[in-house]
Structure 1
Amino acid sequence: MKYWCILLVTMILPLTLSANDCSVTVGSMEISQSVPDKVSIGEEYVNNIELRAKTNVRKVQATVFLSPGMEYVKSTPPAQVDGDTLTWDYDQMSAGETQQIQLALRASSEGELTACATVSSIPVCCATTFAGKATLAVEKTGPATATVGQKVTYTITVKNTGSATARDVKLVDRIPEELAYSKTQDRKEIRHSLGNLQPGASKTFTLSLFAVARGNACNVVEISASNAEAVSDQACTDIRQLGAELVLQCRSVSFINKYSKNTLIIRNTGDATLTNVKATVNISDKLKVVKTSIPAEGYGSRSTWTFDEIKPGEVKNIDIVVISKHKGKHCIEASLSTAEGLKKSANCCTEWRGFAAILIEMIDTEDPLIVNEETTYIIKITNQGTADDHNVKIDVRFPQEITPISASGATKGTVEGKRVDFQAYPVFRPKQIIEFRVRAKGVSTGDARIRVFLTSELLKKPVPEEESTHVY
């Protein structure tokens, strides 16, 4: 609301060129003029006029009356011209404010040329009340990504950017389905009363929620006041699922003193990158690591591999080649951990066995023979392997040139015509040698081939061996 006190004063002040300049205070205004001392007929000259307000005034009007022999050329600002009367109007002037008028004139006759000026105004007294406006602003920030089970913290800043106090400010935060207030409470809305907020003031809050489901979670906050328009902002977080798979592949059966390859498979099955991934393998003391496809931190019974990160869908394969000198069931155990807290384990066991390796040799003691001359066929069998073989059995077959007479050896032999059958040798130990002998004689001339066939539990298909004897 404004209160005005108005005083209207009007005065006319005559001015002469002989005075050159003049000034006078007229009520709340001061007016002054300045002109040159002499000019020539037809010459233009400038009258500089200044208005100065002593107090706040309204409806200011300056007027200049020209005497005969003076012609108006122009002015800055332009004047309102009515014959020999020039006027300038100003809506208002503040205390101490000045206005300049440059009036260009021309002398048209000889003699004294006089310009008289007057100023009028309405003095005012102004009382001012400021009307402000409260304007709310809110900013919400949070992480761009998070994983299921992780705590997600948002920052909310509320500001009053206006010029008046925001009253009864309230905050409402709406929680999306991918987030939860806590692991035990399923609140979907959080409300806070912030009180009054002065112009330029701000308040900052943090809100911690838990990621409970995969998806793009947009958390919206709304700010309202009793005397300001409501505002809102949101922060969106991509909630991802962590996942890892650890598989250890090995052979069900391997043989001692032979290499056996095992494969450790690490797979990121989620949609978030796994970091600081550590895989550790603990190996039975009956096994020895020969080599790995990816260098390990330490060998022996414990080996470790560290990966800075494994992206979603990425797979790491580690081949581990081992060897053993010991029969039996030997196991490898693997474990996995990540910076995100995932833990996995796997194990795989291999039955390590020895193997039988049977060597059969046959020689004759006399060669060549003459008809009715005898010779002995010595059959030697060796287990060169590392495991037992069972039911080792040989059969010897003679051609028409030679006939078997008798048989002896590790087991009983039976002669039937041109064939000798030995009973099975029940348990054939590693590095053991067994021997069989067959006495025979030449019965007809020719180049004879004596054949022996060996079978066992290991060798299901007969293994042949042959010896030549020439009969004359």
Structure 2
Amino acid sequence: MMQNPSVRFRTWFLAAALLAAPFVRLPADGVAPPVPPTPGIPPPPAAAAPRFSSDLYRVEKQIVSSSGRVGEEAVYSIRVDARDDIEQVRLLEILPPGLEYIGAEPAPAEVVNGAYLWAWEGMQRNTSREVRLRVRPADGGWFVTNTKVAVVPVVALPLFAGRPKLQLEKTGPSAAELGSDINFQLVVSNVGTAAAENVRVSDTLPAGLYGADRSGNVVNFHIDRLAAGERRVFDVPVKAAVKGEWDNHANVFFEQAIQANATAHVSIVESKVSIAKSGPARAYTFTEAGYTITVHNDGDTVLENIRLADEVVDGLRFVEASDGGQFHRDTVTWTIPRLAQGESASRTVRLSGQKIYTSTAEAVATLVTGKQAKASATTVWEGAPGVLTELMEDVDPVRVGKNVVYTVRITNQSPMTAITGDVLLKLTGELRPLEVTKKSGAAIDGQDIIAKGVQIKPKGSYTFKVTTEAVKSGMAWARLEFSADFLQRPSVKEESTNVY
């Protein structure tokens, strides 16, 4: 009679080579010898443990189900776990006499004299294989099933072989001014899977370009080794020598053959542009003044994307600009999209002077080739002038033979600007001028008193007195005129005196 399968059992395993493969033995009824032994039941025979473990694989056997009675089916499993990559896995299960084979899942690959063989080509690390066997004991007692497992370990050494693959990029300006220095750039990249050695880069310059040393039209570079994924950059500085359309070709050589090529096109032009700027020569502070900037295409080619910049110098305040001009910090900018040969374009800007001074602001037109034209306008910003003229007499009426003193005062009412002007006092025949205030700059000239180029500071005044004698009865008149460049006509004051 078989032992109850729920009783604990001990396991052992013996390791051996392929021909003497390790055994994993398990009583067919799945019961290890009881501890302590049950009276009437013989102790189990000596057997290997139901588990085995190595660095390559692990094997474990266990009872799945068993009634422990003769003639009834029992199920046990064998599980192989790969701890590393292994190949040619062989599992051989040997049943003892009296233990009938009913079936297995999966079915064995081969059956020879009561031994059942399962074979797998290989197992990857951390994978498992399991076999379930169904058996039936034909008689009572202990049945020990033996399992042999043999594997071939796998030792891998990766070896990679790749191919280099070269790419070439060439960049440079699309347009250049005749006689200018320009630069092309070559970028050699290895996009393959292996290093390239003894790489040569050749740049053939067209007739319209020549290198810095003018020694020839071919520029060469050498790369000893270019690893996979690596790139090298080379500059090719040249002079734009001849007008026209030119293609600049470059090749990269590896193993004596062209691996890649690239071309950059450049238009060499001789563009000419002129600029004029106009504005008021003089203006009053805190008022607005308009400036006009005109750009003209004087060359033999169409000009595109001309950048026009007009500076707003310190002391000026930006008010507005025409044609969408953008003001940023101290500059107003426009982009003129296109100017045909002989065509002009004008832009305007309005500014306000914030102090008394002379401003000079420059406008610059810049072509895509880098060529520039400049013009400037100068404005004298003045304070708005204001003048007060006064003429006063000390007596009226006056007897013949007596004196009359006239006081002349010119006042500059502007708080910011000095003024300069001429003073003229005219007397009629009833009066004769005798003398004028000394060091006043005024002088008697017949019936006139004249002061030329009188300068008056802001909020200042100019004063002198004229002493006259009444020489003839009648109505005498004194006429004061003040003339200055900011006055369209002289400022006039008159005073009458009755002489009797």
* TM-score where L is the length of structure 1: 0.45
* TM-score where L is the length of structure 2: 0.43
